[in-house]
Amino acid sequence: MYGTIRRYKLSKPKEFNDKVNSSFINVIRKVPGFISYIAIDEGDGWWASLSLFETRDGIVQSDRAAAEWVKANAAGYVSGPPEITEGPVVVK
């Protein structure tokens, strides 16, 4: 199992949450090997998501899909590129 954490600085967290819930969740679920997706509103404009996939290719595809989705659907809410951490899950 592999995971990716994407951390964003947002100008409008509520609006971003709404867009993710209504649109992006359907994109990420279609990535091969999808296991789960959750997001955390850290406060102060910081927002993080955690995606789990069966393979490393899944996290690579999900990071690419997220970047394309943000550019097309939520670029006005995001300040700069996300901080990304990814790799194999070592504790379950």
> In one letter, which amino acid is 59?
I
Give the integer Cα–Cα distance in Å for 18 and 42. 16
Tokens 């100008």: give the residue: 11
Model pLDDT, residue 49: 97
Domains of the chain, earliest start first: 2-88 (3.30.70.100)
Each residue of 14-69: pLDDT tens digit? Answer: 999 999 999 999 999 999 999 999 999 999 999 999 999 999 999 999 999 999 99
Residue in 55, 58, 69, 19 with CA at minimum distance from that of residue 39: 19
Each residue of 83-92: pLDDT tens digit? Answer: 999 999 999 8
What would the two tokens of residue 63 be?
A: 């990071």
